[in-house]
Amino acid sequence: MASDPAPLSARDLSERDLPGQDLPGQDLPEQGDPPAAADPTLADLPADVSPVWVRALGLAARAIGLSEPNPRVGCVLTDRDGRLLGQGFTQQAGGPHAEVMALRDAQRRGESVNGATAWVTLEPCAHHGRTPPCCDALIAAGLGAVRAASIDPFGAVAGEGLARLRAAGLDVRLAPEPGVRAAALALNPGFFSRVVRGRPWVRMKVAVSLDGRTALPNGASQWITGPQARHDGHAFRRRAGAVLTGVGTVIDDDPRLDVRGWPGTVQPIRVVVDSSLRTPATARLLAPPGQVWVAHAQGADAASAGAAAAADALRQAGALLLPVPAPGGKTDLAALLQALARRGVNELHVEAGEKLNASFLRAGLVDELLVYQAPRLLGAGAALAALGPWDSLAQAMTFELTDHRRVGDDLRLRLLRPGALAPLEQAMLAP
């Protein structure tokens, strides 16, 4: 088997300018900028990640807030000596994928890609969707090798892209470095979750005091954390295909739940869990841009003349009404997640009150906790989640701490539900 071409050196990465991409607003920064700095939600890359993969992963990060519901993918093309020929990242749904953008970039530079190697953060697609198969584009361009960070678990691909590349005579391998695979999954947990588990990746974000309070007894909560933490939190909203809250939060706080302070062309969908259609038609989150979906109990929009009028008012305000099962008047959250996945939601960002948070946690539906903790004590007030009371510490819910760092005056914690990543990691290696 042929040996890998020489990877890009740090000098290659720091001294060559990155071109702009085709679509407006997607100019890339100077090559010397840290590639992964495009989005602070990515964990620090391990030392075993080579510069060419750092570049490809950094490019993929630039598809955050752009490519939904498609996965975030980056592609770098190098020659046999490891010289950079072209690069790109996935554009809006229906637009070019990363591999095609990289080929266009090489052509714009006047570079030949005959015999070149493509380093791509997800297996090139093998099906006709809204765009032609990327594996065919790489074959037609005369590439000699493809290095992929992961199998694409989507049923129409699932190893077929790599198989077709091999059948065409290309040297094809999956990245052996665990750090590359981990970073590739960190970019697309929602896409893998939607395809593998049939539901979005659920991230619950909370801002708490040292004593775990999210609001005072009178409901006041603005602001527990500082401006840097709030800005950082918007980066995680930007990752999400949808931001979810409960109708109680809408009535009490009237939030916007949009993304502010970060670049992006796609606002996440705002989802309100509202079984009896109490969302005011004047709520701020109904204002454009972006879509609003109100998840209500099946039949609630026709339960009475008042409910029908409320439903009509919400529709006229631009909301989509999404009926879901609600046995005993409680929204079936698992069914809601499946409905969101069917509509292309990859990552779901939950910002809700203590009751809805507790419902998600008790149902085992929270994959990740994002906690911003302020250095202040509030005393009595609302909790992160209305759980318990329990009789034994053995009943406590346990999460795995994966990252902690200071953000302004506050502490940011990221925690995972044990085992949440296991089925997704397995799907990265085997179709």
* Residues noted as catalytic: 99
Determine the 3-state secondary structure of 186 from DSSP. helix
Which run of H or of E encompasses 102?
helix 98-109
Gap between the Cα atoms of 302 and 300, Å rounded: 5
Residue 279 has a CB neighbour count (10 Å cut-off) of: 24
Gap between the Cα atoms of 153 and 163, Å rounded: 14
- Where does residue 274 rank: exposed (0-12), middle (13-18), buried (19+ CB within 10 A)? buried
Q: Starting from the edge strand earliest in sequence, which strands make up the sheet with 74-78, in order?
A: 84-89, 74-78, 117-120, 145-148, 171-174
CA nearest to 256, candidates 290, 285, 282, 223: 285
Beta strands in 39-187 (DSSP E): 74-78, 84-89, 117-120, 145-148, 171-174
Gap between the Cα atoms of 108 and 146, Å rounded: 21
Q: Which residues contact 13 (CB under 8 A, 6 or more apart)?
A: 31, 32, 35, 51, 54, 55, 84
Q: How far is CA 98 from CA 21, 63, 90, 117, in A?
A: 10, 9, 4, 14
Q: Where are the alpha helices (DSSP H) in 188-260?
A: 189-197, 227-239, 247-253
Residue 302 has a CB neighbour count (10 Å cut-off) of: 10
- 348 in Cβ contact with 193 (< 8 Å): no
Determine the 3-state secondary structure of 309 from DSSP. helix
- 272 in Cβ contact with 246 (< 8 Å): yes
16 Cα distance to chain centroid: 29
Helices and strands, counts by H and E, the chain: 13, 16
Which run of H or of E encompasses 11?
helix 10-15
Relative to beta strand 292-297, strand 269-273 is: parallel
